[in-house]
Amino acid sequence: MSSDRERDTVLQTRLVPMVSLDEVRDHAEAVRRLVKWEAIGVLLDEGPGAIVVVLLEDTRVVGALRFCLSSAESVKAIQAYGRDSDLTEMRCWQGHTMSDEQLVDLDKLTAIWQESSDQASSLDTQEVEDFFNQIETGTRKRGRGADMTVETRNQVLFDAHGRCMFEGCGTALTVDPLTGQRGNFAYLAHNVASSEGGARGVPYLSDRLSNRPDNILLLCDTHHRIIDTVAKADYPAERLSAMRQRFCRDVERLLDGLSRPPVPAFCVAWPVHQQTISVPSELQIAQALTPIGVRLDGQPNVLSDNETVLRSAEADTDNFWELMRSTVEHVAEQILRQSHVKAYRAALFAMGLMPSLIALGAKLGNKCEITPILRSRKHGLWYWPANQPRGEFFGIEGLEDLSNSEHEVCLKLALTASPEIMDATAEALGYRVVSVVANKDVIGNEALGHPDDGNLFRQRMQELLHKLGDNHGVERIHLLPCASNAACVFFGQAFDSHHPELMIYDFDPAKGPMVARLRVRNIDNRCSVDANVDSNSGPRGEMPR
């Protein structure tokens, strides 16, 4: 806007309320020259302490004004900004008071308008006059609003599926968990109160919203008391509306899972430097399987759960890695055998040291549909943080520097971070370096944040390993990983027949250069995992193949 005068016209709330109908009409004519709008709304806060007329372009507030007129003149004032036939939408920001700063900011008014979308009703001309008359006289309607109809009650019960809608509760309200007695133990609780004098009551709107299903929550006794008595100030109407919407959305998403094909879920928890790893809950499993388009078949199958022998062993000893080698072989065999009846489709919740996870992925291979699930380091939960695939979330560097007879190369897998010790290790090994690095905007534990990205990553890594062997004569790859659990398994699954062998390194607990821990290679078209390796030889006493 080019001047303060124009700003004052569009945001008349910067000035004192208009007190005459002529002043309103002059303002309506002036503001039409500056902005365009599709509809008119009335926005009020708790009390109400403020009543603002807003000019709307879709759901965005493009102008705002206030006036102080009689109820009859208030109707004419609103008509000055629209047509006689227009309905006027009224919304209440219940439980909140609009500040001076919010009243003079279109973005803040837009946010308030959108937050209040469920505390709303469309009024015709007579109803607008009735509302302003009620405000003018300071009267409140006594008693409760319209009774709930059978149809409304049933709709709320259908939406809730017989469970408490309070966030984090979900208690079944058709059975007593102590006695097993079946019955109706639910409360139908109004969001905006049915009575204007009740908890979250709103002048004029209470009666109009009393019989609307989306204004009613199914609650247990405890949470009914919390929102209406114990902590009602903490639960304004817009918070309860958002809670109800999330409940309905989550329930529908979970129930939609019933139509998806069932697959087994395998849990593999290998301790990391003697720290135990928690296996996922059934809720985490259900949520993690949704993006894959499958559901859990029966109970999760825990194949390895922080066994004492693994927790007690030091990760930098030969005995530990020989133990891990045999454990990887055993777990991979169990997964393939048990997933056979499901056409080798399964979900894998695996966590452990990076070489073990890469070796496990290699043993499982890429001909099956076994999908590793991400464990978020940030939240300690098993889930996919990205709602949509990111696509090429990484770049590949260094291929252009390779000859056609390299024999050995270093491959940096830097998706979580690119620590200096990784570069120092590569420099000490003395081979040319190829780097797979996450894009700067996503690098971190959640860089691979969607299962479709995992499938793409596995495909690209398979192509890269083929290219290194076929185009550049590479026979051995020194793999320096810094990646999430899911990325490690996906990378391992990329390993295929005729690929160069992988020497898989891990960080040294003593903070020295990275150390070779496991070797993955093909022997007679079978994937083999060896322990007790170093960067210059095969298993102890054996030259590399």
Minimum mean pLDDT among 49-58, 150-159, 525-534: which range? 525-534
The per-residue pLDDT of the chain, averaged, comes to 87
Amino acid letter for position 72:
A
Query: Which pLDDT score is estimated for 540?
Result: 34
Is residue 538 over pLDDT 60? no
Give the pLDDT of residue 396: 96
Cα separation, 59 vs 172, whole angstroms: 37
Position 170, amino acid = G
Residue ranges of alpha helices (H) inside 257-341 are 282-289, 308-312, 318-338
Q: DSSP assignment, residue 59? A: T
pTM surpassing 0.75? Answer: no
Sequence-separated contacts (24+) of 234-238 with Cβ below 8 Å: 235/95, 235/200, 236/94, 236/95, 236/96, 236/200, 237/92, 237/94, 237/95, 237/116, 237/118, 237/119, 237/191, 237/192, 237/200, 237/202, 238/93, 238/94, 238/95, 238/96, 238/115, 238/116, 238/118, 238/119
Confidence of residue 185 (pLDDT cuts 50, 70, 90): confident
Cα separation of 293 and 257, whole Å? 8
Mean pLDDT of 374-402: 91
- Distance between CA atoms of 165 and 219, rounded to whole angstroms? 6
Do residues 517 and 325 make contact, with C-beta atoms less than 8 angstroms apart?
no
- What the block records as the tokens of 77 is 């004032």
Query: What's the mean pLDDT in 39-59?
Result: 88
Residue 543: predicted pLDDT: 28
Confidence tier at 145 by pLDDT (50, 70, 90): low
Instruction: Supply the pLDDT for residue 281.
Output: 87
Whether residue 257 is predicted with pLDDT greater than 80 in this model: the reply is: no
Residue 539 has pLDDT above 70, yes or no: no
Query: Tens digit of pLDDT for each residue in 469-515?
Result: 999 999 999 999 999 999 999 999 999 988 999 999 999 877 788 99
Does the pLDDT value for residue 542 go beyond 80?
no
The pLDDT tens digits for 154-180 are: 999 999 999 999 998 988 988 888 888
Q: At what angle do helices 485-494 and 354-364 cross, to 10 degrees?
A: 40
Q: 58-72, 124-138, 266-280, 526-540: lowest mean pLDDT where?
A: 526-540
396 vs 117 pLDDT, higher one: 396
Q: With 80 as the cut, is the pLDDT of residue 118 above it?
A: yes
List, for residues 333-345, the tens digit of each pLDDT value.
999 999 988 889 9
List beta partners, residue 55.
Answer: 40, 63
Using H for helix, E for strand and C for coil, what is the string for 352-374? Answer: CCHHHHHHHHHHHCCCCEEEECC
Residues 210-248: pLDDT tens digits? 888 988 999 999 999 998 888 878 888 888 888 999 999
Neighbours of 212 (CB within 10 A): 18
Query: Average pLDDT in the 17-45 region?
Result: 90
Say whether pLDDT at 205 is over 70: yes
Give the CA-trace dihedral at 333, 339, 343, 348, to 10 degrees.
-100
**pLDDT on residue 541:** 31
Round to whole Å and give the CA distance between 59 and 67. 22
DSSP H or E segment with residue 157: helix 150-160
CA distances to 159, 312, 395, 422, 514 from 460, rounded to whole Å, are 44, 37, 10, 22, 25
Looking at residues 266-285, what average pLDDT do you find? 86
Flag the least confident range among 323-332, 389-398, 504-513: 504-513
pLDDT tops 90 at residue 450: yes
